[in-house]
Amino acid sequence: MSFDAIVIRKDESGYRAAKEQLDTSALPPADVLVDVAHSTINFKDALAITGKAPVVRTFPLVAGIDFAGTVKESASPAFKAGDKVILNGFGVGETHWGGLARQARVNADWLIKMPAGLTTRQAMALGTAGYTAMLCVMALENHGVKPGGEILVTGATGGVGSIAISLLARRGFTVVASSGKAGEADYLKDLGAAEVIDRTTLSAPGKPLAKERWGGVVDTVGGTTLANACAATRYGGVVAACGMAQSLDFPGSVAPFILRGVTLAGVDSVYCPKEKRIKAWEQLATELDLAKLDTIAKEIGLDEVIPTAGELIEGRLRGRVVVDVNR
């Protein structure tokens, strides 16, 4: 069977991504074959497709770190033909062929069954971004953060930020959204933000300790923003760090951690244990206002993936992008 896919190649002609037609027999060996219905474009996918960072480690490679679809064939007792499944991470779209294609063959251990109540489109409107946002919320709550104080969300118009705002607001938290897009204030408030602040208030170098404000933080950008967020976190507060859109660096101080007992909780979505992964997805399916996904996400086809990746890198998108791989 032949199918369409977004393929990244690197050879004497250079680095390039294009939509190509492949055959099922070309898929890498693994124990579950999935007919993909929907995928998505995350920041990591955009880096891979545009070649802006060395995300892809083997060539040629089908892009896409996420997908949702239906099992077509399975050599694993954990899944059978007809099961609806989701995949996030595990090096898919980096070292193993990914989900921006009509078919994918992957290891059973990388898949989870679709939670009841979710469609494949909704699952990819959430994708790794929504799943990561839930892991961040879980990290805050597991470390004792409760509604009452203000919670800062950085990179607020991005996929993780948008969904984190909605999740936190529904749980009764007062959310302050940090964004560089002044024109998106109404969008962020519609998601549940009580206040929107300009990201420049956090992006310049600051003091090792600032006035206490945040009871918790969901940080998606890293760099100076993360350092300043930690510096202004209240005594005993928690900062969940999951992204590096600004920088991998952490130009901060130990002062918030040893003088205010602040916890910096790293959140990894790629190799997160299956039990936690399943819990996060089940909570997304039951707790998130799924009607908000129409506000957060737009849908495109495979033909639009490559130009859309460029828009994402340039910061010209908000929310999530769902890819219907069959159009």
Helix (H), strand (E), coil (C) string for the chain:
CEEEEEEEEEECCEEEEEEEEEEHHHCCCCCEEEEEEEEECCHHHHHHHHCCCCCCCCCCEECCCEEEEEEEEECCCCCCCCCEEEEECCCECCCECCCCECEEEECHHHEEECCCCCCHHHHHHHHHHHHHHHHHHHHHHHCCCCECEEEEECCCCCHHHHHHHHHHHHCCCEEEEEECCHHHHHHHHHHCCCEEEECHHHHCCCCCCCCCCEEEEEECCEHHHHHHHHHCEEEEEEEEECCCCCECCCCCCCHHHHHCCCEEEECCCCCCCHHHHHHHHHHHHHHCCHHHHHHHEEEEEHHHHHHHHHHHHCCCCCCEEEEECCC
In whole numbers, what is the pLDDT of the chain averaged over residues?
A: 95
Pairing mode, strands 320-324 and 32-40: antiparallel
- The pLDDT, as a whole number, for residue 242 is 96
Tell me: the pLDDT tens digits for 21-79? Answer: 999 999 999 999 999 999 999 989 999 999 999 999 999 999 999 999 999 999 999 99
Confidence of residue 318 (pLDDT cuts 50, 70, 90): confident
Q: What is the pTM of this model?
A: 0.93
Residue 288 has pLDDT above 90, yes or no: no
Q: What is the mean pLDDT of the segment spanning 10-30?
A: 96
pLDDT of residue 295: 84
**Average pLDDT, stretch 273-298?**
91
Q: What is the pLDDT of residues 203-221, one digit of tens each?
A: 999 999 999 999 999 999 9
pLDDT score recorded for residue 182 = 85
Contacts for 278 with CB less than 8 Å, ≥ 6 apart = 112
CATH superfamily of the 128-266 domain = NAD(P)-binding Rossmann-like Domain (3.40.50.720)
Residue 292 has pLDDT above 90, yes or no: no
Taking 90 as the threshold, does the pLDDT of residue 287 lie above it? no
Give 317's pLDDT tier (boundaries 50, 70, 90).
confident
Please state, for a pLDDT cut of 70, what percent of the chain lies above it: 100
Q: Is 304 exposed, middle or buried (0-12, 13-18, 19+ CB in 10 A)?
A: middle
Q: CATH topology for 2-114+292-324?
A: Quinone Oxidoreductase; Chain A, domain 1 (3.90.180)
pLDDT score, position 245: 84
Residues 221-278 pLDDT 10s: 999 999 999 999 999 999 999 998 899 999 999 999 999 999 999 999 999 999 999 9
pLDDT digits (tens, 9 = 90+) for 120-166: 999 999 999 999 999 999 999 999 999 988 999 999 999 999 999 99
Alpha-carbon span 228 to 205, nearest angstrom: 7
Domain-wise residue ranges, the chain:
2-114+292-324, 128-266
